[in-house]
Each structure stands twice: as C-alpha cells, then as structure tokens.
Amino acid sequence: METDIKSYGQDKVFDLPLRKSSQSLMPVKLDYSFAAQGQYNIYPAQALGNNQIFNGYGSLAQWIIQQKTVVIDGFVGVFWDKVQSKLQEYFVNENMAVNWVNTKDFLKPVSAIEKMVQPFLGIDGSVWGTKTTLNLKDFYEIENLSGQLPDNRFNLNIVIGPAAILSDWNAPVIYIDLPKNELQFRMRAGSITNLGSNEVFEPAYSYKRFYFVDWVVLNQHKKAILDQITVIADGQWPNDINWMFKTTLAEGLDKISRSVIRVRPWFEPGVWGGQWIKQHIGNLNKDVVNYAWSFELIVPENGLVFESDGFLLEVSFDFLMFHNQEQVLGKHAQKFGDEFPIRFDFLDTWQGGNLSIQCHPKLKYIKEVFGENITQDETYYILDCQENAKVYLGFQENIDPAAYRNALEESQAEGKAIVIEAYVQAHIAHKHDLFLIPNSTVHSAGAGNLVLEISATPYIFTFKMYDWVRLGLDGKPRPINIDHAFNNLNFKRKGERVQQELISKPAIINEGEGWQLIHLPTHPEHFYDVHRMEFDQKFAAETNQSCQVMMLVEGQAVLLETADGTKQEFAYAETFVVPAAAKSYVLTNLGKGRAKVVKAFLK
C-alpha cells in the first residue's frame, strides 16, 4: 500500500476551520438514501433496535445530573472545550453549580512531554518512528490529578479529558470516542494538537506522533478501562453528540462477532489517484480531483457504526477486538490477540497515475526498527482495469543493484526521470489477476487499475524508491526512502522466478452444480490465503474457526445468511467480515449472471 500525507480543501460544512477534508461528516441521523438496495453503502450500520442511542447534549446532561458525579474520559482530538461548554449551557439552565476538573490542567510541562516522546519519533524529516513504550499516565502529574476530589459544595462534580479515569473518582465513566478519519481532518485544519502539546505541527509530523505515540497509549488506556465504562459517546460532530450505554454496545459487539461485520469505509484523494471510485460509488463528494484510496478495512483507522431510531454512533474497531477477539479470530486469537491481521483497501489508478516504485520491510526489520508485530505482506487483486494497465513487480533478470541504486539517487538529486522497466518488470493486468507482494519485493500499481489490496494489516511502511519525478498534492516532494528500501529489497525476486512465484495460479479445488471454489495461492511468506467463490445461485461454507474477509468482485449483490439467522445484503465492491464464531454461512446471488466473491482467511 502507498501512503501519503495529504492536504485538501476546507470542508464546507463549517464556517470555522474545524476540519479539512473533501468529505462531509457522517450524519447524526441516518438518511436512508445512503443505503439504497443493491448499491454501495458508505454508512453501513448495525441496527440495535429502538431507544438504544440517545441524541444531544441535553439528554446527556440530564443523565449526568441524575448521577451528580461523573468521569468523562476519551480520545485525543475530541473538542473537549466544546463538550464542556455545551454541557455547561444545560447545567446553567438547570441552575446547577458545577465543579469542573479538566485533565489538561494536570499534563506535565510541554517541554517535558516533548523530551519524553522524542525517542519514538525517529530522525528529523523521517516518515516513521517507533511504537512507544510509554503509558498514558506518563503524560500527567498523576498525584495532582488524583488529589482533586469531588466537592460537595457543588451540585455536580465532573472530571473531563483524556485520562480522566486516572483521577480515581468513584463515579460512572463516560467515554467519548473519535473516528480516526475525523481526527486527521481536524489535524489538517490545525484545530487540534497532539497529546500534551500546545503547538499545531505540520500534518506529516503530527500524524507520525499520533500513530507512534498518542494512539498507542490511548488505545492501551481504552482497553484497560473497558470494563469500567458506563456510557459511550461519539465525538465526531462539533455541535452535537450521540451516546448509548456500554451494555448496549456490548450486546451489539456480541451480535456482530457471531454473524457479520462491516466497518465504515472512508476515501481520500492522492497524487496518483483515479476516477473509478468517483464513477462507481455513490454519495461521495464528486468535486475532488480524484480518489486514490478507499479504507475498506484498515481497522486501526476504521470504525463500526451502530444505529437506533435512525441515530448513528461510531466506535473504533478496537472495542470489538478488546471485547470479542476470540469470537472474531477463533483459533487464531491467541496468535494475533487484539490485532486484526487482514486488511482490504482500494488503490484507484483508473485514468490516474502510477504508484511509486516501492517495497515493504522484512519482518525482523519492522519489529526492530518500528516496533510492529507483523509486517506489510501484500497482494494486488485486480478488481477492474483499463486496457494495457500494468503492475510493476520483481526485478529484471539482469538487475545490477549498484547500478539501480545509482540511477535512483541520481533521479532524486537531479529530478531526472528513469526508464524504470530497465530495472523492474511490468506485467499486463487483467481482471481477477492476483499479484503476490511478500515483504521486500519491489512493486507498484501502474495507471489504469482498480486494485483491491489484500494484505496484512500494517499500512504505512512503504519505502518509496522512485516517484516518477512528481510533487504531492500539497505541491511538495514526497519522501523517498532509498536507504530503508535497500536494507530490505530481495534482489533474488527477478526474471522468470517472478512469473513462477509472484503471480498466483488459480486452480479449482471444489465444484458442484452451479458453483466452483477457486484457490488463488499466496506466497509462502503470506500468513493469509485467498479463495474465490463463484456461483450462479447459492454457495454454502463453514468458517472452520477462522475469520473470513470477503468482497463481491463480480455481480450486483449477494445475500449473506449466517448460522444464527442474521441476513444482510452486500453490493458489488463492499467488504464484509464473517467472524470465526459465525460457524457457517450461505451466500445467495441477487443479480444476473454468476456472482464471484473473494475470500481472504488466515492459513
């Protein structure tokens, strides 16, 4: 996968620059036109039944008044001052005197925090750092925070902000979550800062700090306090809020962990982006130059949406893995724990440009240098392509590593184009091809493709070697990482060996009347495998205690029915997950012609 730090036009929803994105906020209440039957749904939601999600600061304030003392904890990027002011409006109207204790007042000095996080942020100008070993409490003067006690001279006592529960108040806990896409839109607008900082950094640095430090400590904190949470709230709307009780969330998580899961996708332009997503996925803003990515299932940054009476509430995917990892991953839960190991995303170069020539780190390298547990082993499934579209994969037989490096460095220094096919093989892409990209393999998706990237979950560790002498959407050169690349490149993946080892050879492994099961073998280094289920009417299968990640790659729509009786329709190009605990499922073709569903699962 290719990643980039992106900067786009201001969203028109607000007069103030609270978020910077081409995409609108998810609605507070569902507009059912977003879920037209047989069409790709950008706001998929799990129904909870009536009266399970509550809307507005007024209703939340009334609940707080009943409790008298509460803790409001949550994620970085929440507009905490807005939350406090909105609640305070209602408390004033009710003549309630409030003792507010804000955790930001107990952060360590900014200089101390900067010094503390710096070892995890890599060298200046680097895209990557190393996952922190810090804890959330390390950011705060905990003794001072825990020394703030409820004051009975006030009608209400509230401690608010990230780490609020570390105050040790014996009170109900409200947790305000924030989707990672909205966090990044706020980051780009400069309306939020990193944890413990009073400075708005440029987006590349801020994202690095979020990824390697803030998100790590806050996810650990979220997991540690999960059983103490009473209320979950969604903080993505600056002037509104939806909330529900944690018991309701637990029931919703239990339900999807035994039936079917679909996360909310989100979409981003990029320098090489294309037009396929704009042309085929409705309800997206079309007034953008392109769409390069769709985050179909990149769970560190995707959320799960729940619905009641039309009201929507999104929580991070972490909640599911913290609460139901065994149901989701089955026999693989012990190995992967909280980390969901497979991702699906789109790379759209249809009428677009080439991705950079790139590679990904070896397992040992990503562990030692970046602190990750698994590495970025990928495949490219060609969902659609234009005539003569290419995939760059593997080296030419006569590759000379020294000459290749010299050409890359000369290009970078002088801004000079390279005839890249003198070094790297180019393969004509066809619909339903599967190209195998184990770590350390040189590769790129050429222009004219809609790639379904089936991969291990890590997604930002892309070492670019050559970027076609172009600038990013922000007008700046994109980082080139020749040193990292050459620390990892496998120059034995060249010549005829590429055809034999890195282009999957489909084989029928089972069939019956009106259906076939096709195996698209992955590389031995991939810990996941790929099947394609092709059927005219129905296809039945068991999970075999393993999670199954699927997408309809040909056809209009399918109906999924799991063993517990859950039924859900999925349109062309929608990603969905059948967890291990679902036990079995039946797919029914709802369109004309043969349906084809790709399935990725752990070996």
Residue 209, in any domain of the structure = yes
The answer to whether the CB of 304 falls within 8 A of the CB of 314 is: yes
486 and 521 housed in the same domain: no
Q: What is the pLDDT of residue 126?
A: 87
In this prediction, residues 134-153 reach a mean pLDDT of: 96
Same domain, 89 and 235: yes
pLDDT at 476: 82
Pair of tokens at residue 372: 């990750």
For CA atoms 577, 581, 584, 588, the dihedral sign is negative
- Helix (H/G/I), strand (E/B), else coil: 144: helix
Spatial contact of 214 and 96, defined as CB atoms under 8 Å apart: no
Q: What is the pTM of this model?
A: 0.95
d(CA 458, CA 339): 10
Q: Are residues 152 and 204 in the same domain?
A: yes
Residue 504 CA to residue 345 CA, distance in Å, equals 19
* Euclidean distance between CA atoms 270 and 451, whole angstroms: 15
Contact 169, 69 (CB under 8 A): yes
**Residues 497 and 580 reside in one and the same domain:** no
DSSP 547: -
Q: For position 32, what pLDDT does the model report?
A: 67
Residues 361, 219 share a domain: no
Least confident of 6-15, 292-301, 339-348, 520-529: 6-15
The 3-state DSSP class for residue 182 equals helix
The range of the structural domain enclosing residue 74 comes to 32-263+299-318
pLDDT category, 91, cuts 50, 70, 90?
very high
Alpha-carbon distance of 523 to 527, in angstroms, equals 9
Answer whether residue 111 shows pLDDT above 50: yes
pLDDT, position 472: 81
Residue with the bigger pLDDT between 34 and 399: it is: 399
Q: What is the pLDDT of residue 471?
A: 87
CB atoms within 10 A of CB 126: 14
The count of structural domains within the chain is: 3
Task: Grade residue 10 by pLDDT with cuts at 50, 70 and 90.
Answer: very low
Backbone angles phi, psi at 334, to 5 degrees: -65, -35
**169-189 pLDDT per residue, tens:** 999 999 999 999 999 999 999
The residues with which 562 forms a beta bridge, in sequence order, are 585
Is the pLDDT at 14 greater than 80? The verdict is no
pLDDT at site 124: 85
127 and 214 part of one domain:
yes
Indicate the pLDDT class of residue 7, thresholds 50, 70 and 90. very low
Of 446, 480, 501, the last residue of a domain is 501
Q: 2 in a domain, yes or no?
A: no
Q: Do 492 and 572 have their domain in common?
A: no
Which of 35-39, 356-360, 387-391, 556-560 is predicted with the least confidence, judged by mean pLDDT?
35-39
* 380 Cβ contact list (under 8 Å, min separation 6): 347, 391, 433, 434, 435, 437, 443, 445, 449, 451, 452, 453
pLDDT digits (tens, 9 = 90+) for 192-203: 999 999 999 999
Are 362 and 421 in a shared domain?
A: yes
pLDDT at 4 exceeding the cut of 70: no
Query: Residue 474: what pLDDT?
Result: 81
pLDDT value at position 537?
A: 97
Q: Based on the domain organization, do 483 and 468 belong to the same domain?
A: yes
Residues 201 and 224 in one domain: yes
Backbone angles phi, psi at 137, to 5 degrees: -65, -20
When comparing pLDDT for 212 and 14, which is higher?
212
Q: Each residue of 557-590: b (16+ CB within 10 Å) or e?
A: bbebbbeeebeebbbbbbbbbbbbbbbebebbbb
Report the C-alpha gap between 559 and 586 in whole angstroms. 8
φ/ψ of residue 238, rounded to 5: -60, -30
Mean pLDDT of 362-386: 96
pLDDT, tens only, 432-490:
999 999 999 999 999 999 999 999 999 999 999 999 999 888 888 888 999 999 999 99
Residues 442, 585: one domain? no
Distance, CA of 278 to CA of 366 (rounded, Å):
34
Q: How far is CA 166 from CA 65, 280, 417, in A?
A: 22, 47, 55
Task: For residue 88, count other CB atoms closer than 10 A to its CB.
Answer: 16
Mean pLDDT of the chain, nearest integer: 94
The amino acid sitting at 237 is W
Per-residue model confidence (pLDDT) at position 419: 97
pLDDT tops 50 at residue 383:
yes
